[in-house]
Amino acid sequence: MKTSMGVTVFSVCLFAAACVAAPPVNPGGPGHLPPPAPTGFDNASNGLTDDATHQVDQGQFDEFEEISDGLGPLYNAQSCRECHQNPVSGGPSQVLELRVGHKGHDGVFENPEIPINGGAEVIKGRSLVNQRAIGPNGAFPTTDIQERVPDSENIRTFRISVNLLGDGFVEAVDDSTLIELSKKQCKETHGRICGLALYVPVVESPGTTRIGRFGWKDQHASLLSFSGDAYLNEMGITNALFPDEVTSLCNTVSEPNNKPEADGLADIDHFTRFVRATKAPARDARQAATPAARQGEALFARIGCEICHVPTLVTAAAGTVVNGGKFAIPEALGDKSFHPYSDYLLHDVGTGDGIAIAMEEHYGKKMYQIKWKNLSLENHHSSANKLRTAPLWGVRTHAMLMHDGASLTFREAILRHRGEASDVTRHFEQLSQADQQAIVEFLKSL
């Protein structure tokens, strides 16, 4: 089950009323817009694999795990689909994960210490607190492994599960595209909006980093890294990338729990290939064609929402090698235009939860033994109040908005935005009720 819970946070990085629509970020140059990425909520392949292979991969994604598979003992769900299924496998859901921590004496966020089994063991190195626990009680009748948050961990938040549909195209965006977006928005807003392009470890290629784009904190750039992280931290199943259990208690399955099968692929390989082959979320064409939605789209651009919610991105050319040489972008994903309404950068829009990226949780217990190129621990630690600009594609399928799911209407979500978004939130408030509603009607088309 893919980690990083979060549905399209409504990161409306709004700026100024005079802003014009942001042009597509397009490495092909002016006048060149590559073919569009396939869209649809039909769980058919985007062309990366044939549909039969895609269905096999989806079967692995949907499969419920058992203790004999390595499930737990600490976990949040039994399958990827549990947290990614609305409206189809790979979409978001309303499942919330719990993250906590505290500030140290220097005022910097620190990961929690969660005692289990009567304090005999303490879970460290993670901000995630698993809400479920399971064990073979016959073998461990007196072991209490449920995590419970102590009073000392007073920074607390929920994060809602993210959409994965279309993320193969996101993975195929070149780092330089995201870096240039960051530079451009910072320059054009005179420093008021400056997204952070964060270098993160590519776990399958030790020493390699890439610009993060997956998860609420942009903690991963590789879908394979993302899958391995989730398999361990959300389902408790160790794998080739994350071979170390969160706890040694109640462990009855050999390590790593998941190994390659007869086809040479482990579960995380199937999960990754499934996500890479998903179509991008489809827009509601009927709603998009209404006069109100068309007016709202123009207003969305005019008041500056598109500075961060970039409508169109373009993937790198087919054959481009990424993720430290571990993945060559295939024809199905290369040189495609797609419409995520995100810059995939980290911003402080006043909704941050104060929880920084937990390095060992997301990159493995041995991550500090590796020299990672371009890795800035300072940038990672400073991410506490920053969140990824939520992609708005498919947002009409979400009943709960923002990283914490606390906003239930589009208008509520917009008005929560402060910090870098303050200027544009103010301009939204200055619009007439009819114009505000037009923006909402536009969002209903996404």
Instruction: Give the model's pLDDT for residue 136.
Output: 73
User: Is there a domain that residue 433 lies in?
Assistant: yes
Report the alpha-carbon distance of residue 155 to residue 101 in Å, rounded: 5
Report the alpha-carbon distance of residue 133 to residue 404 in Å, rounded: 23
Structure tokens at 157: 């938040």
User: Distance between alpha carbon 4 and the CA centroid of its chain, in Å?
Assistant: 6
Instruction: Give the model's pLDDT for residue 32.
Output: 74
Helix (H) or strand (E) holding 327: strand 327-328
Any idea how long the chain is? 446
* Count of Cβ atoms closer than 10 Å to residue 431 Cβ: 16
User: Is there a domain that residue 170 lies in?
Assistant: yes
Alpha helices in 149-304 (DSSP H): 167-171, 175-188, 223-233, 267-276, 285-288, 291-302
Instruction: Give the model's pLDDT for residue 171.
Output: 99
Largest separation between any pair of C-alpha atoms in the chain: 68
User: Is there a domain that residue 26 lies in?
Assistant: no
User: Is there a domain that residue 12 lies in?
Assistant: no
Q: pTM to 2 decimals? A: 0.93
What are the pLDDT tens digits along the chain (446 aa)? Answer: 333 333 233 333 333 333 333 445 554 455 578 999 999 999 999 999 999 999 999 999 999 999 999 999 999 999 999 999 999 999 999 899 999 999 999 999 999 999 999 999 999 999 999 999 988 766 677 788 999 999 999 999 999 999 999 999 999 999 999 999 999 999 999 999 999 999 999 999 999 999 999 999 999 999 999 999 999 999 999 999 999 999 989 988 888 999 999 999 999 999 999 999 999 999 999 999 999 999 999 999 999 999 999 999 999 999 999 999 999 999 999 999 999 999 999 999 999 999 999 999 999 999 999 999 999 999 999 899 999 999 999 999 999 999 999 999 999 999 999 999 999 999 999 999 999 999 999 999 99
User: Is there a domain that residue 27 lies in?
Assistant: no
Instruction: Give the model's pLDDT for residue 139.
Output: 65
Query: Looking at beta carbons, which pairs linking 48-56 to residues 24 or more positions away fall under 8 Å?
Result: 48/168, 48/273, 48/276, 48/277, 48/330, 48/332, 48/333, 49/273, 49/277, 53/273, 54/274, 54/277, 56/270
Domain, as residue range, for 104: 51-443
User: Is there a domain that residue 28 lies in?
Assistant: no
Measured in degrees and rounded to the nearest 5, phi and psi for residue 173 equal -75, 135
Report the alpha-carbon distance of residue 348 to residue 422 in Å, rounded: 10
User: Is there a domain that residue 21 lies in?
Assistant: no
User: Is there a domain that residue 293 lies in?
Assistant: yes
Domain count, the chain: 1
